[in-house]
Amino acid sequence: MTFPRVTAADWRAQVEKELAGASFEKTLVFKTPEGLSIAPLYTEAPRTHSIGAGAPFKIVMHGSAEDLDEGAEGLWLDARALAALQSRDAFFVIDGALPVGARADLRFALVGQPESAKSISEGYPNGVAAMVSTLADHEAGADSADELAIALSTGVQYLETMLGGGLSPTAAGKQLAVQISVGRDTFAELCKVRALRVCWQKLLAGAKAENGRTLIHAVCSTRTLTQRDPWVNMLRGTTQVFAAVLGGADLVTPMPFDRALTEQSALAHRIARNTGLVLREESSLGRVSDPAGGSYYLETFSDELAREAWKRFQAIEKEGGIAAVRKSGWLQARLDASWKERLELVAKRKAPVLGVSEFANLDEVLPSAPGAIKARRDSEAFEALRDRFALSPTLFPPRGASSPSPAGEREAVALIALGEFATSRARVGFASGFFAAGGLRSRETTSDEKASVACLCGTDERYAAEAVDRVKALKAAGCKRVYLAGRPGALEAPLKEAGIDGFIFMGCDVVATLNEVVS
């Protein structure tokens, strides 16, 4: 039996038919924060690049000799802490200059020390002097393309310093390594590591350095960590290690799940370390050479991200290089704009934060107190709302024994279900999660009861039949604020005339709306 050959054009025609007039681009093509497009189907490979990915990875912990005893192969530490640990057989990522008297056979990479490259190359055959780090830029809001562009421009600066210090291009290239963050989007972050290798090879080729395998240290993002429901950070850490390894990172640093809290626990540190061990020993990650190779989607996106990063790298160089754009404020303005765009996605729940903006756990007991926010994080706007609500007794004060809520419990948002039980479920569930993201509990009712905040939940047909009258009744009953779950459409004007305070729907600014609710 034979089947007719279906081409990509045939597939596209059938999809267009099924969409019945809806835009293919708007419906099925996803736009990334970098402005790149992810298509629903890939049928051809891009121009191929040799990325040299795929080698056993080392787990490098912020920790102590105990981590080495428990399976980690490396430590990330301050230079002052090296003296007591350099006797161990491990790889060290070192913040600061190499201390005098360090072992000649020590395996290490110094973060940002290009001026010491000549002495390191002559005295330490297993040492790398100049690790480029983009961690601070990632935390400041850089998207993937900007992060790669910053790494490339910093690499140029380091190469110039090393060449000026007497090293040949090839010797200077061997003294370079890269430290990069790996964030929340598993496949995009995997492609970021792959794209970094492509761009770095091109950078070294431009400097006339022989291309060896550049050491990449992938660090799980602190920007994605949450203070609320911190246990979910274990899942984030797992997917980030997964992305780093499949992208071809040589060193990987997992983050403890309670890193964003005031005190970090031994349990969280142990789980972080063991996450890498389980993925390596039980899932066999790191045993396959370039596991993403051969996937049209991943190879295409890696290629497009590399090209976009290279364009942005060239833009930085036209502005005078990395030092110039940092000094002038050009780079900071770009990072601020990128972060603002990201916050808008988070605030509208288009970039959901599990356990915070989605499926908030209002009964959680944190393992330690939330600390001051030292760096930008995706979840901070929602966590600030939760803290504001929790610390203000005037917002939704405790109800008395006669109220629908248990005596002493904070008053809940009244969700007014319209119509039959089955037809109101979707919007009741949506509204419950919406208000929970700000720390507000909700209760369901069908009557027009007095409440600080009420929200109508029903079908569009029910809204057309009774929403205006129900808003008037709720206001007459003493409700301070009344909302409607869904877009109002043609009812917007009459509902506003009836006294409604706002509308909640997918795509609205959740943070701004909840700030109004608790004001």
Query: Tell me, what CATH number does 125's domain have?
Result: 3.20.20.240
Distance CA 314, CA 391 (A): 48
Model pTM?
0.86
Collapse the DSSP code of 77 into the 3-class scheme (helix H, G, I; strand E, B; otherwise coil) and give the result.
strand
Distance CA 140, CA 217 (A): 19
β-strand pairing of 251-253 with 58-61: parallel
Q: Look up the CATH number of the domain holding residue 442.
A: 3.40.50.280
Of the residues 291, 311, 328, the one at which a domain ends: 328
* Number of helices followed by number of strands (H, E) in the chain: 19, 15
Structure tokens at 171: 């010797």
Distance CA 461, CA 418 (A): 10
Residue 36 belongs to a domain: no
Distance CA 251, CA 179 (A): 9
Element of type H or E holding 457 = strand 453-457
| DSSP designation for 465 | I
Tens of pLDDT, residues 139-187 = 999 999 999 999 999 999 999 999 999 999 999 999 999 999 999 899 9
Residues 200, 93, 86, 266, CA torsion sign: negative
Q: What are the b/e assignments for 184-208, b being 16+ CB within 10 Å?
A: bbbbbbbbbbbbbbbbbbbbbeebe
Phi, psi dihedrals of residue 516, rounded to the nearest 5° = -65, -40
Residue 278 belongs to a domain: yes
Residue 339 belongs to a domain: no
Residue 340 belongs to a domain: no
Residue 16 belongs to a domain: no
Q: Is the pLDDT of residue 247 over 80?
A: yes
Residue 495, domain extent: 413-517
**Domain count within the chain:** 2
Tens of pLDDT, residues 457-499 = 999 999 999 999 999 999 999 999 999 999 999 999 999 999 9
Of the residues 328, 344, 360, the one at which a domain ends: 328
Residue 15 belongs to a domain: no
Mean pLDDT of 183-198: 94
Residues 109, 218: one domain?
yes
Q: For Cα atoms 305, 295, 138, give the angle at the middle one, nearest 5 degrees.
A: 30
Tens of pLDDT, residues 317-370 = 999 999 999 999 999 999 999 999 999 999 999 999 999 999 998 888 888 777
Of the residues 282, 306, 328, the one at which a domain ends: 328
**Could you count the other beta carbons within 10 Å of the beta carbon of residue 129?**
31
Residues 288, 432: one domain?
no
Distance CA 35, CA 301 (A): 12
Residue 32 belongs to a domain: no
Residue 391 belongs to a domain: no
